[in-house]
Amino acid sequence: MFESIAFAAEGAAPAAAQGGVTGFLGSFLPLIFLFVVFYFLLIRPQQKKAKELEKMVDALQRGDAVITSAGIYGRIGRIDGEVVTLECSDKVRIKISKRSISGKVDPATLEEEKN
């Protein structure tokens, strides 16, 4: 009785070995599919957003109303390379890194905050 089971197991091994490349590709196909999905749903949109932020930061000019990544609202007073002087209020100026600016805001927002 056990001999027939042993012969059956020996016969199954060559069939699995014949799968070769398709067996190997078939086992990695789900991983490849997951990487493609992650690329289009996560990686690509983040890269696009980073490029847009880079363009916006490079196009900053004196007088632009901005918000920093720390949540500080202000108006750009001076730009010296990578250092920006941000005017937060009357006679209040802080120096920040140009890369810490997270976006432009409507100038009316700054006027509301003063009142």
pLDDT in tens, the chain (115 residues): 556 665 555 555 554 555 566 777 788 888 999 999 999 999 999 999 999 999 999 999 999 999 999 999 999 999 999 999 999 988 999 999 999 999 999 888 777 766 6
Same domain, 15 and 55: yes
Q: Starting at the edge strand that comes first in sequence, how are the strands of the sheet with 101-104 ordered?
A: 92-97, 83-89, 73-80, 65-68, 101-104
Instruction: Tell me what pLDDT residue 111 has.
Output: 75
Instruction: Tell me what pLDDT residue 108 has.
Output: 83
Q: What CA–CA distance (Å, rounded) separates 66 from 94?
A: 13
Same domain, 16 and 33: yes
Domain count, the chain: 2
Domain end, chosen from 41, 59, 77, is at: 59
Domain coverage including residue 108:
61-114
CA distances from 103 to 39, 81, 83 (A): 25, 18, 16
Same domain, 44 and 68: no
**The domain spanning residue 78 has which CATH number?**
2.30.30.140
Same domain, 7 and 47: yes
